[in-house]
Amino acid sequence: MIVAKFGGTSVQDADAIGRVIDIIGDKRARQPIVIVSALGGATNVLLEIAHKAAGGELLIALHMIEQLRDRHLREANTLLQGSSEREEIAAEVSASFDELAHLAEAFRTLGYLTPRSLDTVAAVGELLSAQIVAAAFRHRGLPGVCIDARDVMRTNDFFTRAEPDTDEIDRAAREFILPVIERGSIAIMGGFVGSAPGRVTTTLGRGGSDYSASLVGAAVAAEAIEIWTDVDGMLTADPRIVPKAQLIERIRFDEAAELASFGAKVLHPSTIAPAVQRGIPVYVFNSRNPSGRGTMIAFEAPRMAVRAIAGKRNTTVVKLRSARMLLAPGFLRRVFEVFETHRTSVDVVATSEVSISVTVDDPSNLDAVVADLMEFGDVAVERQRGIVAIVGAGIADGSRAIADAIAAIGAVPIHMASLSATGINFTLVIDDEQVVPAMQRLHRTFFESAA
Ligand code: ADP
Ligand code: ASP
Ligand code: MG
């Protein structure tokens, strides 16, 4: 069995979905399970619809709903020309948009959104794409069966970034997915979407379809997890920032996980853990270039000092200075409890005897965090910061990588620096506007120079 996930651009229209069917058609013997994202950009539109409606702009929201309905119907009609299912699928698609219009009216009346209602709206994209793609498979003579992600992807109720219940997912995969595979059919399920107890719709967070794929892969003990996207694989940097980024043919799980969590959007940061747990290799391929070599992510890869560069913009730094930290056991625990209480995750950490600096990605609960931290000492918040990281299993192995990285960055202010305990990630916090030029300089140093 393999799990193959196709991201938004890989299912953006009828042509792209046609390519998905070709790719999977060639892999039938390997018993594929297909995970699809929403049609490219649909999740953004859905969330915008919800925000517009709650903000009082109902007419705009309804207009956007009609445009999104038309887009889905157009692609479904193109894919299902001559299919006996065409009308039925069109009716189901339309019914979802009617329901969305009712929801939009309710949001307008309420004037606010809850994380739970946002998930209900965001999930529509994947629930529809899975239905459309499965019907398109059948029309092309392949036995596609649509699986409702809410039956399989069981989560807690942390809406907008729900956490999976892997025991429940293992059980549900046996109940809902394996029978489909055993009778020779192709299971097709939306990524990103899940359900909390009571079958309340949740989502795994933006970009979460990759995570759905690895959770399903782990649940069925797949032989491989394939992430099909719009670039040739994992590259030495984000190609939008570094046009000369090169394909990485093999990379270790831990390196890929670091890259993902430090900004390489090609993989959702949680994707690697389930694969590592069951030892399943993860591949990244380009759905527009299916014969490409792609990237293989596994336990072993040829050792390189620096495998890739990552970067993240819009990071916030929180600095705490406290005289009480001196010789106080348990101090760090109490500080981190504050972040935990306010569900704010911390990325980079640096400490001294009297101070601690951390970066946070999502500052939505920062006011509450700062208020609680003030009990320990002086707190300063620095916005407009960014992170650059070099990642590679050999960074700390006596190589020149760290010295070269600092030299490459040049004379820009460095606000924090951190070398991970495993020595595979060296991170610098710099001004936000320096992230792009710093990534370009780092890439030149490590990948574009003749040496
Ligand atoms: P999908 O919709 O298929 O999930 P995403 O947009 O989420 O695709 O992720 C693919 C994008 O990730 C690429 O188009 C690329 O711009 C970006 N990206 C960032 N860093 C990297 C990297 N190191 N290697 C490859 N792609 C990267
Ligand atoms: N469609 C969702 C998003 O845009 C999930 C995904 O594509 O991975 O965030
Ligand atoms: Mg993605």
242 located within any domain: no
Q: Of 187, 206, 229, at which residue does a domain stop?
A: 229
* β-strands 425-431, 378-391 pairing: antiparallel
Question: Contact at 8 Å (CB) between 438 and 388?
Answer: yes
Lowest mean pLDDT among 23-27, 222-226, 281-285, 374-378: 374-378
Ion ligand 3 nearby residues (CB, 5 A):
7, 207
Question: Contact at 8 Å (CB) between 195 and 248?
Answer: no
Q: How far is the CA of 379 from the centre of ligand 1 (A)?
A: 35
Three-state DSSP at 214 gives helix
Element (H, E) at 64: helix 58-79
Which pLDDT belongs to residue 75?
Answer: 98
Q: Same structural domain for residues 204 and 320?
A: no
Listing DSSP states for 255-276 in one string gives: HHHHHHHTT-TTS-TTSHHHHH
Instruction: Name the closest-CA residue to atom 5, ligand 1.
Output: 266
Tokens encoding 153: 């992807």
Using the predicted structure, report yes or no on whether residue 430 has a pLDDT greater than 90: yes
Three-state DSSP at 403 gives helix
Residue 240 CA: which ligand 1 atom is closest? Answer: 16
Closest ligand relative to 161 C-alpha: 2
Which pLDDT belongs to residue 280?
Answer: 98
CATH of the domain at 151: 3.40.1160.10
What is the per-residue pLDDT across 384-398, written as a single tens digit (0 to 9) for each?
Answer: 999 999 999 989 887
Q: Of 203, 229, 255, at which residue does a domain stop?
A: 229
CATH of the domain at 359: 3.30.2130.10
Q: Which residues contact 194 (CB under 8 A, 6 or more apart)?
A: 149, 150, 153, 154, 155, 162, 164, 201, 202, 203, 204, 212
Q: Same structural domain for residues 211 and 341?
A: no
pLDDT class for 61, splitting at 50, 70, 90?
very high
Listing DSSP states for 347-395 in one string gives: EEEEE-SSEEEEEES-GGGHHHHHHHHTTTSEEEEEEEEEEEEEE-TTT
Q: How far is the CA of 229 from the centre of ligand 1 (A)?
A: 7
Q: Which of 79, 96, 77 is nearest to 87 (CA)?
A: 77
The whole-angstrom separation of Cα 446 and Cα 400 is 11
Q: How far is the CA of 306 from the centre of ligand 1 (A)?
A: 19
Stronger pLDDT, 326 or 78, i.e. the higher one: 78
* β-strands 186-190, 144-147 pairing: parallel
Ligand 1 touching residue 308 (CB < 6 A):
yes
State the total domains in the chain.
2
Which pLDDT belongs to residue 71?
Answer: 98
What is the per-residue pLDDT across 220-254, written as a single tens digit (0 to 9) for each?
Answer: 999 999 999 999 999 999 999 999 999 999 999 99
Which pLDDT belongs to residue 325?
Answer: 67
Average pLDDT, the chain: 95
Listing DSSP states for 138-205 in one string gives: HHTT--EEEE-HHHH-BB-S-TTS--B-HHHHHHHIIIIIHHHHHTT-EEEEESSEEEETTTEEEE--
Q: How far is the CA of 439 from the centre of ligand 1 (A)?
A: 16
Using the predicted structure, report yes or no on whether residue 451 has a pLDDT greater than 60: no
- Write the CA distances from 437 to 144, 311, 388, 430, integer angstroms: 46, 11, 10, 11
246 located within any domain: no
Using the predicted structure, report yes or no on whether residue 218 has a pLDDT greater than 80: yes
Q: How far is the CA of 290 from the centre of ligand 2 (A)?
A: 21
Q: Same structural domain for residues 224 and 329?
A: no
Question: Contact at 8 Å (CB) between 52 and 64?
Answer: yes
Q: How far is the CA of 211 from the centre of ligand 1 (A)?
A: 14
Question: Contact at 8 Å (CB) between 67 and 37?
Answer: no
Q: Same structural domain for residues 38 and 153?
A: yes
User: Which residues sit with their C-beta closer than 6 Å to ligand 2?
Assistant: 7-8, 37-38, 43, 125, 191-192, 206-209
111 located within any domain: yes
Tokens encoding 431: 């001004």
Q: Same structural domain for residues 44 and 155?
A: yes
Q: How far is the CA of 46 from the centre of ligand 1 (A)?
A: 21
Q: How far is the CA of 327 from the centre of ligand 2 (A)?
A: 46
What is the per-residue pLDDT across 98-109, written as a single tens digit (0 to 9) for each?
Answer: 999 999 999 999
Q: Same structural domain for residues 110 and 209?
A: yes
Instruction: Name the closest-CA residue to atom 8, ligand 2.
Output: 207
Using the predicted structure, report yes or no on whether residue 188 has a pLDDT greater than 60: yes
Q: How far is the CA of 234 from the centre of ligand 1 (A)?
A: 8
Q: Same structural domain for residues 83 and 186?
A: yes
Stronger pLDDT, 305 or 150, i.e. the higher one: 150
Which of 12, 201, 203, 206 is the pocket-test mutation for ligand 2 (most atoms within 8 Å of CB)?
Answer: 206
Instruction: Tell me the β-bridge partners of 33.
Output: 3, 187
293 located within any domain: no
Ligand 1 touching residue 8 (CB < 6 A):
yes
Which of 209, 211, 266, 287 is the pocket-test mutation for ligand 2 (most atoms within 8 Å of CB)?
Answer: 209
Task: Name the residue range of residue 98's domain.
Answer: 2-229
Question: Contact at 8 Å (CB) between 317 and 351?
Answer: no
Q: Same structural domain for residues 181 and 71?
A: yes
Q: Same structural domain for residues 207 and 68?
A: yes
Radius of gyration of the chain (CA): 23
pLDDT class for 450, splitting at 50, 70, 90?
low
Sign of CA dihedral 110, 114, 120, 121: positive
Residue 10 CA: which ligand 1 atom is closest? Answer: 3
Closest ligand relative to 7 C-alpha: 1
What is the per-residue pLDDT across 284-337, written as a single tens digit (0 to 9) for each?
Answer: 999 999 999 999 999 999 988 899 999 999 999 999 998 776 557 888 889 999
Q: Same structural domain for residues 52 and 201?
A: yes
Ligand 1 touching residue 9 (CB < 6 A):
yes
The whole-angstrom separation of Cα 412 and Cα 347 is 21
Ligand 1 touching residue 229 (CB < 6 A):
yes
Q: Of 172, 204, 229, at which residue does a domain stop?
A: 229
Cβ neighbour number for residue 352 with a 10 Å cutoff: 9
Q: What are phi and psi of 183, to 5 degrees?
A: -90, 15
Which pLDDT belongs to residue 322?
Answer: 86
Q: Same structural domain for residues 225 and 350?
A: no
HSE toward the beta carbon, residue 95, CA cutoff 13 A: 8
Three-state DSSP at 60 gives helix
